[in-house]
Structure 1
Amino acid sequence: MQLEILTPEHKVFSGDVYGVQLPGVEGSFEILQNHAPMVAALGVGKMKILKDKSNTETYQINGGFVETLNNKTTVLLEGAEAVSY
């Protein structure tokens, strides 16, 4: 699945991924390959990029929107900060 994550200031991420976990306004959800088309509002929380089944990147986000269509997911965020563990 192709994933692109953008803020007003810069491109946070662009590339092929296994999936992405996002904080929706009514609860967290995950988008994987062949997900049904959708548009959803995002809340404040952690976004996890699943690069493959064992490698991830996590960001603290401040809300935004996500659109997925034809195995391409675009995330538009107000802000994103990398979280390291």
Structure 2
Amino acid sequence: MVLEIISSEQILFQGEVESITLPGAQGSFTVLENHASLVSTLDAGTIEYVTAGERHSVPVGGGFVDVDNNRVAVCVR
């Protein structure tokens, strides 16, 4: 699945990932391959993703996420 994390200034990450955990407004949630389509707001917290077996994290001040057809687009503050 492809993950894009972007801010108004730059692309923070773009590439293939195995999973993504996001700080949703209703609590943390994880997106795996073939996840149902969704749009959600994000609270301040940390986005964690796994790529090539390595876990990475990106602190964010909030934003929103769009999940559709194994593509996860995250816009953050």
TM bin (shorter chain): over 0.9
TM-score by length of 1: 0.87
Q: Which runs of 5+ in 2 are unaligned?
A: none
Question: Aligned pair 1:22/2:59, yes or no?
Answer: no
Q: Which residue of 2 aligns with 1:77?
A: 76
Q: Which residue of 2 aligns with 1:62?
A: 61
Q: Which residue of 2 aligns with 1:83?
A: none
Instruction: Summarize deviations over 1:6-57 as a string: whole Å, max 9, x none.
Output: 00000000000001100011100000100000000000111101114x3111
Distance in 2 (alpha carbons) for counterparts of 1:6 and 1:46: 14
Q: Which runs of 5+ in 1 are unaligned?
A: 79-85
Distance in 2 (alpha carbons) for counterparts of 1:21 and 1:11: 18
Moved over 2 A (4+): none
Match of 1:34, SS state, is coil
Please report how far the alpha carbon of residue 61 of structure 1 lies from its aligned counterpart in structure 2 after TM superposition. Answer: 0.7
TM-score by length of 2: 0.95
Letter in 1 for 2:63: G
Match of 1:9, SS state, is coil
